[in-house]
Structure 1
């Protein structure tokens, strides 16, 4: 995301900067605020990089903070529930997961890393999340338009498995705490109610479906179009094999660490859509939003095995058997029934995630702010990559005989 220095700041924001310095145990002497962050290809406003310089015990120290804070009341209102959920993750969920990793002495390769959140508040009209910048630790963003490869995708799937395994472990070892967490996450941030999809959401979906070349697949997708919000609602309802999920796991919400040109680690951020749902909602969301048809045709089965093998290994470290926690037959059934979430999300978002940065910003703002406006009214052009990605994931979905409507047909 392009950086832009800010010359004038609201007093609330300045107060927040001094609070961050106090939390960092520094006497603030200088700060620089930039809108955006070069390591995050964000499509939304409200993201700032803050360079803090100050003194601690007479020594000069510096800290770089990634700050999520919306100055506009309208945008704060739009993202209020997102802030609340991310605060729940950093204050209630993450500490429990870290305790499990420490208590069971998980080997390093089976541990998941989380952002270092130094401040999170859901106080009304002061919603804020602040994490330390990870660039100094060697993590960086991968271009969302780069072709997917097994090394990157396998890392993501392993870490999704680690995240889900910690959820299963917490449920088994500390059911009281786990129940409290699930109550905090029982209402989905995006899809808390069934009904008709907003006009803009339906318009994005239809634009992608119009590009589908297979007439049978296109007809099926058009047939369920009036039900897409109901399908998503059903996908995020809890069942006996649900887990704490990231909820928005795609290329723009993760940073990779490299050894030479090879990715060796990944860290997820933006936990603002954390949900309690089938693990497959995370898996399908990532694969359909961040890979393409060629990759899925060649490597899908391998990637699924990597996920399930990692899940088994982490559970074993926690003295649990995957066959008792998330049996393979249940997992396979979830893949068939819940992968539709990833497909619909990708069809709705594909025009945005394949667009150049400035256009993606405009379309995202319209998606959130102008729910009753159709995209074609704004003159956006369909790109070849949009069409190619849509046809690739649709083809893969139907070749696997996955279901569009199993959950709403029950």
Structure 2
């Protein structure tokens, strides 16, 4: 048995016995004999805040077979130390339910369209761990989060997001009991996680940093007066929670909940994207389609696309795919394109949330982001330095110049 760690820091529990269990579960055979495990890192430092991602190539045999080679992604979520606060959010179990229960049913509603990698194995012993299909094998890869997505990539994502949303709506119509499912009640962002000792603290720190920059911009004086009032009176979290909370008039689906560029994998024909799948369903919840769309727009678009192409993306990519999938599933009362646009506008506060919590981390250069881990977040001096740099990048500031005026026109800060 050969184990090649290739100078990577691989946890001891990811051993022969672990992968024998994975393969037994996947193949249904007890006659699994491993020959080699070849590890590499599945992501760079700072690219995954909650988890560690490993890629492993496994060579094994079954009874009577020759050598079989397969590839896995292993997602390890050590909910201790700096991550201990996330235990109460139950992110591991939420994602497990999505991969094993909800996503297969959504894909079934979409004639087995592929939305996400397969999940082969889950265990919480000794550490919360998932073993997933390695989408690099069929040719999927991540885009450049620092640059953001161009028009072609954005169209691919909004087409697939529309199909995913439609599948969630069809499933909720087919199985109304899911509307009260505990696992879909809240995503990552709730009154608990947005509390002053958790994400809420960072949200207000970044709001302060934004105010510091935008107060110097000509033409933003009235907007800053309103935003400073919200900041001083600590009303931002309440506004965000009101936006997240489902209401009777919402176009409700099963949201992805964390729609930013690192959670998309693209397949290409030469240099042109032709498909995408989603990963990381820790934040999935029953909620408005407008949440995912606003979160995506504010976090993941290149500046010129953010400025000029959002309506086009809804009209030419999102809505046609959304309507077509709902029609195929015989959905009653299909929303119009104007209904969708109105929903996006009503849920724009979730875009503001994404723009001050997620965008700073995404837009900062990779040298800085490599230092931005759950561990360094506990070091106040380091965390402050990283936060200041993250909220000073050109993409963050230029995006805010576009978004703040739009959000103010919707009355978000009134």
Q: If the length of structure 2 is used for normalisation, what is the TM-score?
A: 0.83
- 2:304 maps to what in 1? 294
Q: Tell me if 1:134 matches 2:135.
A: yes
Tell me the distance in 1 between the aligned counterparts of 2:205 and 2:397: 15
Q: Tell me if 1:313 matches 2:324.
A: yes
Pick one of 242, 246, 263 that aligns with 1:238: 246
Between stretches 207-216 and 13-22, larger displacement belongs to: 13-22
Shift of 1:375: 4.5
Between stretches 33-42 and 270-279, larger displacement belongs to: 33-42
Tell me the distance in 1 between the aligned counterparts of 2:410 and 2:182: 30
Specify whether residues 208 and 162 from structure 1 end up closer, same or farther in structure 2 by C-alpha distance, changes over 3 A only.
same
Pick one of 391, 396, 400 that aligns with 1:390: 400
Specify whether residues 51 and 344 from structure 1 end up closer, same or farther in structure 2 by C-alpha distance, changes over 3 A only.
same
- 1:189 maps to what in 2? 188
- In 2, are the aligned partners of 1:76 and 1:127 still within 8 Å (CA)? no
Tell me the distance in 1 between the aligned counterparts of 2:280 and 2:56: 17
Tell me the distance in 1 between the aligned counterparts of 2:9 and 2:258: 32
Specify whether residues 254 and 325 from structure 1 end up closer, same or farther in structure 2 by C-alpha distance, changes over 3 A only.
same
Tell me the distance in 1 between the aligned counterparts of 2:330 and 2:303: 37
Pick one of 336, 343, 349 that aligns with 1:340: 349
- Structure 1: gaps of 5 or more residues: none
Pick one of 368, 373, 381 that aligns with 1:359: 368
Tell me the distance in 2 between the aligned counterparts of 1:76 and 1:48: 18
- 1:16 maps to what in 2? 18
Shift of 1:367: 8.2
- Structure 2: gaps of 5 or more residues: none
- 2:55 maps to what in 1? 49
Task: Find the residue that maps to 1:267 and give its secondary structure.
Answer: strand
- In 2, are the aligned partners of 1:148 and 1:292 still within 8 Å (CA)? yes
Show CA shifts across 1:27-85 (max 9, x none).
Answer: 21111233443799434542211221111333111222111113563256344422111
Tell me the distance in 2 between the aligned counterparts of 1:42 and 1:405: 31
Specify whether residues 349 and 373 from structure 1 end up closer, same or farther in structure 2 by C-alpha distance, changes over 3 A only.
farther
Task: Find the residue that maps to 2:104 and give its secondary structure.
Answer: helix
- In 2, are the aligned partners of 1:340 and 1:403 still within 8 Å (CA)? no
List structure 1 segments (4+ residues) > 6 angstroms apart after TM superposition.
none
Tell me the distance in 1 between the aligned counterparts of 2:46 and 2:117: 14
Tell me the distance in 2 between the aligned counterparts of 1:373 and 1:186: 36
Task: Find the residue that maps to 2:213 and give its secondary structure.
Answer: coil
- 1:222 maps to what in 2? 228
- In 1, are the aligned partners of 2:100 and 2:119 still within 8 Å (CA)? no
Q: Tell me if 1:120 matches 2:122.
A: yes
RMSD across aligned positions (CA): 3.0
Tell me the distance in 1 between the aligned counterparts of 2:176 and 2:190: 26
- 2:7 maps to what in 1? 5
- In 2, are the aligned partners of 1:248 and 1:274 still within 8 Å (CA)? yes
Shift of 1:222: 2.4
- 1:58 maps to what in 2? 65
Tell me the distance in 2 between the aligned counterparts of 1:192 and 1:12: 35
Show CA shifts across 1:359-394 (max 9, x none).
Answer: 224334268646x87943668433333322322332
How many residues get paired? Answer: 389
